[in-house]
Amino acid sequence: MVVRYQIINVFAALLLLTFTAVVQASQFDARVEVSMVSLDNPYRVIPLPSSWNYASGDNPDWRLPDFDHSGWEQVSTSITVNDLQFADWTGIGWFRLTIDADSSIVGHPLSLEVITQNGAAEVFLNGEQLYEFGRVGSIPAEELSHHERKPRVFTFKYPGRHVLAVRYSSHNYEYYHERGLHAGFRYILQDANHHIDASFEQTRVFTIYQAFFSGILIVFCVVHLLLFLFYRRKKENLYYALFTGSFAVLNFLNYQIGFAISGSQVITLLQFQLLLRAATIIYFMRFAYALFYEFVPKQFWVFTVIMLSDAVYRAFFSLNTPVYSEIIMDFILLAFYIEIIRVVVMAVVRKKEGAWIFGFGIALFTTCQAIIILINYDLLAGIQELYGLTGTIGLLLAMSVSLSRSVALTNKRLASKLIEVRELSQKTIAQERLNQQQELDRKILELDNRRKTQELEEARKLQLSMLPTRKPRFDGYDVAFHMTTATEVGGDYYDFSNGQNGSLTVALGDATGHGLKAGMVVATAKSYFQTFAGEVGNLDLLRKISVGIKNMNIRMLYMSMTLLRLERDHIKITSAGMPPAIIFREKTGEIDHIILKGLPLGSKPDYPYCEQNISMDEGDTLLVFSDGLPEAFNHQRQMLETERIVDTFRKSASLNAHEIIETLVSLTASWTDSGPLHDDITIAVIRKKKNGQLTSAVDATQIV
């Protein structure tokens, strides 16, 4: 309907030119004939001539139909700059037009349509005032310019001559001329019913288009502005919001011109349109760069300066732009479209995210704008509004699809993150519960450890109380013991007992494991040893101890043991699972290993253990130890082993028993770097004294 209304104006202008030529043929009277035949055209209009009889000044009698205006000059009602050469325009004057009404049109409702008016007017028909458009003033302060948009109905009451007189003022005519507008008016007659319908339809269509397109753009503006406020790193949302916002206002003003009621309003709206058009183009380009560029290229600032300079110049200095300036501006816009296409193509080639979606919308929009330019230069036929609408909707739809895709991807990522958070929360809660349970278990274990530590300490005291507090004395022999425990209650054991026949029985044992159970085995072994050592031989004593341990019915509890029965010049030795004893012969300087194989006690009581009788000459030394000594580890997880023990023993064999033990203890401490032991170490040294040799000075066993 907007296009239809514009076609009406074009058609009316053509008819006006025709009638102008006819009227100008008359030297004295501006006249037009009207009839129903005159309304017989698609738009039901009767053009009025552009030149009317005119007189400068103000006289109320000039409205009267009988006033003779034959002496008035004929002047165009548009009051352009060229018209001022033929008219004495001082800001107010009268225009008169003679209308010959045919009888066919008498009584038919007509309306006077204001095509344009940049001033104030009082319209009289046959001396009677029909309308008042604004307020006519003799001076500028009294004038109120007004462009009437509503249909005003009147009828010719009789056939024949009628006079249409217009009292018109436009004191700001220079202001309009400077901005490329005329200062006068242009009227046409139109079928009233048709005019009312067309005016209503135009208002309806303009309002719908104005609200619909501006509303859509505002929605996009608000949505993207909120997206930017929620996530400021996405600057493209800000520039798209500025683009759609300025475009929305530009679209609104474009239709608002059709509702302007004065020339000054039209000029103001045109000025805003020029500035907003530049802002829209600038924001559009900045939006495109923000999509695919990390930094703003220099050409953007060049375009910005050119667009703003042109907009300011046109808006405030010359609304009536020369043709060559329009051509330059069109070339600038063409360069702008080419740059946008280049940006999109490069983004597609580089496979930027969402480039195809944005590229489609931008390509469609720029293509439609290029077609509009070609239509302006008559290089292509078509309706500009249709291409403008297509390009705008295409761009908005592309952005809508992109926005929907972005929101969908964001929701998908958020859903995934929520699942991760939920799982993490569940794991955290489970971990907290586990930590609480572990803390509770730790406290329970700590209390239990305290209890066990106390029990073990008591067991240790009991264990130590079962060990000899002094070393044995036996004529002709120097005997010394040493024990280092790995835990509070050691599994190693040593003891001695003097027999009724004057012999000395020495026991050195190693219970499996450590702790309280090992202590129980030691206690059992000691009980049997002290009971039967003086009554039975070594082999019977081993069997009795083995039976006693077996009868405890505790799984995996055994005890290795070496029994030594010392007599004047020999020693009887029996072993059950202990390391070989080592004897140093002073006369020859040789080392002998006494190997007696046998199962640990408590495993098989009837096992056939062996006994060996060893002669002892003066200076000979016998070394017996538990497996904790050769199996002592250093920091490199290397064992001390028997070879190093034998070497140290050979070098210290000339010393007394206590000094030999101290040498072996020093070897162990050096090897382990005084670190913690993994097993108990028990050492017994028995040396056959020479005549006159003193016994070890220390009269006690060593327990560490």
> CATH number for the domain including 291?
1.20.1070
Query: What pLDDT does 697 receive?
Result: 47
Residue 571 binned pLDDT confidence (cut-offs 50, 70, 90) = very high
Q: What is the mean pLDDT of residues 101-119?
A: 92
Q: How many domains does the chain have?
A: 3
Burial label for 515, CB within 10 Å (0-12, 13-18, 19+), is middle
| Lowest mean pLDDT, pick from 46-60, 219-233, 318-332 | 318-332
**Residue 147 shares a structural domain with residue 244:** no
Residue 695 binned pLDDT confidence (cut-offs 50, 70, 90) = low
**Residue 256 shares a structural domain with residue 358:** yes
Sheet of 185-191, strand order: 45-47, 185-191, 110-117, 153-154
Instruction: Compute the distance between CA of residue 179 and CA of residue 73 in angstroms, rounded to an integer.
Output: 27
User: b/e map of 653-689 (b: 16 or more CB within 10 Å)?
Assistant: bebbbbbbbbbbbebbeebbeeeebebbbbbbbbbbb
Query: What pLDDT does 325 receive?
Result: 62
Query: What pLDDT does 368 receive?
Result: 86
> Is a pLDDT exceeding 60 seen at residue 204?
yes
**Residue 566 shares a structural domain with residue 686:** yes
Query: What pLDDT does 62 receive?
Result: 95
Q: What is the mean pLDDT of residues 167-187?
A: 87
> Is a pLDDT exceeding 70 seen at residue 576?
yes
Q: Which of 262, 149, 151, 133 is nearest to 207 (CA)?
A: 149
Residue 439 lies in a domain: no
Instruction: Compute the distance between CA of residue 177 and CA of residue 267 in angstroms, rounded to an integer.
Output: 11
Token match 């400077």: residue? 178
Residue 595 lies in a domain: yes
135 secondary structure, DSSP code: B
| Lowest mean pLDDT, pick from 206-220, 381-395, 423-437, 523-537 | 381-395
Query: What pLDDT does 19 receive?
Result: 42
Render pLDDT for 245-288 as a digit per residue (tens, 0 to 9).
Answer: 998 998 888 888 888 887 788 888 888 888 898 898 899 888 88
Residue 114 lies in a domain: yes
Render pLDDT for 385-414 as a digit per residue (tens, 0 to 9).
Answer: 788 778 878 877 786 676 566 656 666 877
The residues, ordered by sequence, that sit 6+ positions from 691 with a Cβ below 8 Å of its Cβ are 618
Please say whether the beta carbons of 687 and 478 come within 8 A.
Answer: yes
Find the CATH number of the domain harbouring 58. Answer: 2.60.120.260
Query: 10 Å Cβ neighbour count for 145?
Result: 25
Tell which of 414, 429, 448 closes a domain: 414
Q: What is the mean pLDDT of residues 419-430?
A: 86
Ramachandran assignment for 553, one of left (phi > 0), alpha (psi -120 to 50 degrees), beta (any other):
left
Token match 């209390």: residue? 447
Render pLDDT for 276-333 as a digit per residue (tens, 0 to 9).
Answer: 988 988 998 888 888 778 888 888 898 889 888 888 887 777 666 555 566 777 788 7
| Lowest mean pLDDT, pick from 109-113, 554-558, 641-645, 669-673 | 554-558
> Is a pLDDT exceeding 80 seen at residue 528?
yes
Tell which of 414, 449, 484 closes a domain: 414
Residue 160, CA atoms < 13 Å, CB-side half-sphere: 4
**Residue 180 shares a structural domain with residue 215:** no
> Is a pLDDT exceeding 80 seen at residue 703?
no
Query: Quick one: tokens of 131?
Result: 């309308």
**Residue 223 shares a structural domain with residue 128:** no
Residue 19 lies in a domain: yes
Element at 545 (helix H, strand E): helix 538-550
Kind of pairing between the strands at 45-47 and 120-125: unpaired
Query: What pLDDT does 644 receive?
Result: 93
Tell which of 159, 183, 199 closes a domain: 199
**Residue 141 shares a structural domain with residue 262:** no
Q: What is the mean pLDDT of residues 75-82?
A: 89
Please say whether the beta carbons of 110 and 167 come within 8 A.
Answer: no
Classify the C-alpha dihedral 88-94-98-104 as positive or negative: positive
Residue 577 binned pLDDT confidence (cut-offs 50, 70, 90) = very high
**Residue 177 shares a structural domain with residue 207:** no
Q: What is the mean pLDDT of residues 127-133?
A: 92
> Is a pLDDT exceeding 80 seen at residue 499?
yes
Render pLDDT for 446-457 as a digit per residue (tens, 0 to 9).
Answer: 888 787 777 667
Residue 82 binned pLDDT confidence (cut-offs 50, 70, 90) = confident
Q: What is the mean pLDDT of residues 187-195?
A: 92
Residue 451 lies in a domain: no
The stretches of 295-322 forming alpha helices (DSSP H) are 298-316
Query: What pLDDT does 12 receive?
Result: 42
Residue 28 binned pLDDT confidence (cut-offs 50, 70, 90) = low
The residues with which 494 forms a beta bridge, in sequence order, are 508
Q: What is the mean pLDDT of residues 22-32?
A: 58
Residue 448 lies in a domain: no
Domain around 144: 2-199
**Residue 489 shares a structural domain with residue 503:** yes
Query: What pLDDT does 579 receive?
Result: 95
Residue 512 binned pLDDT confidence (cut-offs 50, 70, 90) = confident
> Is a pLDDT exceeding 90 seen at residue 620?
yes
Rounded to a whole number of angstroms, the CA Rg of the chain reads 62
Query: What pLDDT does 24 receive?
Result: 41
Residues present in the chain in total: 704
Q: Which of 606, 582, 610 is nearest to 596 (CA)?
A: 610
For residue 45, give the 3-state DSSP assignment.
strand
**Residue 165 shares a structural domain with residue 301:** no
> Is a pLDDT exceeding 60 seen at residue 77?
yes
**Residue 297 shares a structural domain with residue 193:** no
Residue 434 lies in a domain: no
For residue 474, give the 3-state DSSP assignment.
strand
Query: What pLDDT does 451 receive?
Result: 78
Query: Quick one: tokens of 204?
Result: 């309806």
The stretches of 317-383 forming alpha helices (DSSP H) are 323-349, 355-376
Residue 337, phi then psi, degrees to nearest 5 = -65, -40
Burial label for 651, CB within 10 Å (0-12, 13-18, 19+), is exposed
Query: Quick one: tokens of 642?
Result: 């028997």
Query: 10 Å Cβ neighbour count for 305?
Result: 10
* Average pLDDT, rounded, for the chain: 84
Instruction: Compute the distance between CA of residue 159 and CA of residue 33 in angstroms, rounded to an integer.
Output: 11
Please say whether the beta carbons of 658 and 458 come within 8 A.
Answer: no
Residue 137, phi then psi, degrees to nearest 5 = -130, 140
Q: Which of 563, 581, 569 is nearest to 476 (CA)?
A: 569
**Residue 648 shares a structural domain with residue 685:** yes
| Lowest mean pLDDT, pick from 1-15, 245-259, 323-337, 591-605 | 1-15
CA angle 144, 148, 151 (to 5 degrees): 150
**SS3 helix, strand, coil % of the chain, rounded to 5?**
50, 20, 30
Residue 421 lies in a domain: no
Residue 16, CA atoms < 13 Å, CB-side half-sphere: 20
Please say whether the beta carbons of 202 and 2 come within 8 A.
Answer: yes
**Residue 364 shares a structural domain with residue 498:** no
Instruction: Compute the distance between CA of residue 466 and CA of residue 468 in angstroms, rounded to an integer.
Output: 7
Q: What is the mean pLDDT of residues 39-65?
A: 92
Query: What pLDDT does 7 receive?
Result: 41
Find the CATH number of the domain harbouring 540. Answer: 3.60.40.10
Burial label for 500, CB within 10 Å (0-12, 13-18, 19+), is exposed
Residue 136, phi then psi, degrees to nearest 5 = -75, 135
